[in-house]
Amino acid sequence: MNLAAFGIGLAVACAVAAVVAALVSRADRRSAAVGMGTAAAGAAAVLAGVAAMAGQSFSLAAPWILPLAGFQLAIDPLGGLFVAVTGGVAVAAGVFGIGYTRHGLNGRAAQVVLPVFVVAMVLVPAADSVGTFLVCWELMAVASLPLVLAEHRRRAEVGEAGLWYGVMTHLGFIAILIGLLVFAAHAGDASFGALRAAGAHLSGGVASLVFVATLVGFAAKAGIVPLHAWLPRAHPEAPSHGSALMSAAMVNLGIYGLVRVGLDLLGGGPGWWWPVVLVLGAVSAVYGILQAAISTDLKRLLGYSTTENMGLVLIGVGAAGMFAGSGERVLAGLALAAALLHVINHAAFKTLLFLAAGSVLHATGTRDLDALGGLRPGMPVTTGLFGVGALAASALPPGAAFVSEWLLLQSLVHGLPPSGVPSAILLPVAVAAIALTAGLAVATFVKAFGVGFLAKPRSRAATEAGESPRTMLAGMGIAGAACVVLALVPTTVLPGVGSAASRLVGSGEPAVHGEVTLRLSSVAGSLSPLLLAAALLLGVVAVVGGVRAAATRRARRTAQLWDCGGGPLTARMEYTATSFAEPLQRVFDDVLQPELDVDVTHARESAYLVQAVEYRRRVPDRVERRLYQPVLALVAVWGRAARALATGSVHRYLGYGFYAVTALLIILAVTR
Q: 100: helix, coil or strand?
A: helix
d(CA 623, CA 235) in angstroms, rounded, equals 18
Give the distance from CA 665 to its chain's centroid. 46
**String of DSSP letters for 205-220:** HHHHHHHHHHHHHHHH
Tell me, what's the pLDDT at 249? 93
Give the separation between CA 563 and CA 560, rounded to whole angstroms.
9
**Torsion sign (Cα): 244, 246, 247, 248:** positive
Which residues make Cβ contacts (< 8 Å) with residue 52, sequence separation at least 6? Answer: 4, 75, 76, 77, 79, 80, 81, 83, 84
Low-confidence ranges of the chain (pLDDT < 50): none
What is the C-alpha separation between 335 and 412, in angstroms, rounded?
A: 8
Dihedral angle sign, alpha carbons of residues 369, 372, 374, 379: negative
Task: Compute the mean pLDDT over every residue in the chain, rounded to the nearest whole number.
Answer: 87
pLDDT digits (tens, 9 = 90+) for 108-141: 778 889 999 999 999 999 998 999 999 999 999 9
- Three state DSSP letters for 163-179: HHHHHHHHHHHHHHHHH
Domain spans, the chain = 286-546+573-595, 623-671
As a whole number of angstroms, the distance between CA 413 and CA 602 comes to: 59
pLDDT in tens, 51-67: 999 888 888 888 777 77
pLDDT at 597: 79
pTM of the predicted structure, to 2 decimals? 0.91
What is the distance between the alpha carbons of residues 247 and 298, in angstroms, rounded to a whole number? 14
Question: What integer pLDDT is reported at residue 179 of this predicted model?
Answer: 93
